[in-house]
Amino acid sequence: MPFYAQHIKAGRLHLQKNDPVMKRILKMVGPFQAKTKRDRFGTLVNSIISQQISVAAAQTIRGRLLDAAGSGTGTPRISPESLLAFDVESLRAIGVSRQKATYVLDLADKVSTGVVELDDIHRQNDDAVIASLTRVKGIGVWTAQMFLMFSLGRLDVFPVDDLGIKNAIRKQYELDDVPDKHEMEALAVNWRPYATIACWYLWQSLELE
């Protein structure tokens, strides 16, 4: 689902009204510009590939993988079926680590066999989506939360373990230390039900340093 303009407008007004620090951040950053990604399977593959490597390295590997396994007309995409034509060693040959190769193949298998149903996953609530995706090797809660935010367009997701969010809160709220989960949840009470929008603005605030 996309981020709808009326929801973003309502979310911005809510944040400005209920949190003076967030009001300042919104003014500093400007319009909300996040977009959702429609290719759900490709997004999850990219999330796995990108773990613990540089952005440039991840882009290179994703490009090679798309060249090797991409299918379809127009914008090429990787499908579970096209990915399952590869094994661990052939994925390693294009730069995917052995561990990540097992992860993306596990994802492809679980989607192909219906263990993870990406076509209907938007019908599930947030907890059910997280439970479904974390059945896949290499997909943890944080990755599932990013999927909720930027693939499904869920407006009230708050990844309390995200280091960027923690650092942004510490700076913008002028805290002495990185906040713990309870401090973060207390702040987020004022953001609900638009925590996703608040998080996007917190991430963007880090780019302005």
Which pLDDT value is given to residue 53? 81
Q: How far apart are CA 164 and CA 206, in angstroms?
A: 8
SS3 23: helix
List, in order of start, the domains of the chain with CATH numbers: 5-35+156-207 (1.10.1670.40), 40-150 (1.10.340.30)
Q: How far apart are CA 61 and CA 45, in angstroms?
A: 11
Which pLDDT value is given to residue 140? 95
pLDDT in tens, the chain (209 residues): 789 999 999 999 999 999 999 999 999 999 999 999 989 999 999 999 988 888 888 889 988 988 887 765 555 688 999 999 999 999 999 999 999 999 999 999 999 999 999 999 999 999 999 999 999 999 999 999 999 999 999 999 999 999 999 999 999 999 999 999 999 999 999 999 999 999 999 999 998 86
Helices (H), 19-87: 20-29, 40-49, 55-69, 80-83
Which pLDDT value is given to residue 57? 87
Q: How far apart are CA 102 and CA 85, in angstroms?
A: 13
Enter the DSSP assignment of 124: S
Q: How far apart are CA 167 and CA 95, in angstroms?
A: 32
Q: How far apart are CA 127 and CA 139, in angstroms?
A: 14
Q: How many CA atoms lie within 13 A of 97 on its CB side?
A: 12
What pTM does this model have?
0.90
Inter-residue contact 152 to 129 (CB < 8 Å)? yes
- Tokens linked to 188: 């987020």
Nearest to 166 by CA among 138, 188, 134: 188
SS3 77: strand
Q: How far apart are CA 209 and CA 206, in angstroms?
A: 6
- Tokens linked to 71: 């299918």
Distance between start and end Cα atoms, the chain: 31
Q: How far apart are CA 151 and CA 196, in angstroms?
A: 12
- Tokens linked to 40: 């759900």
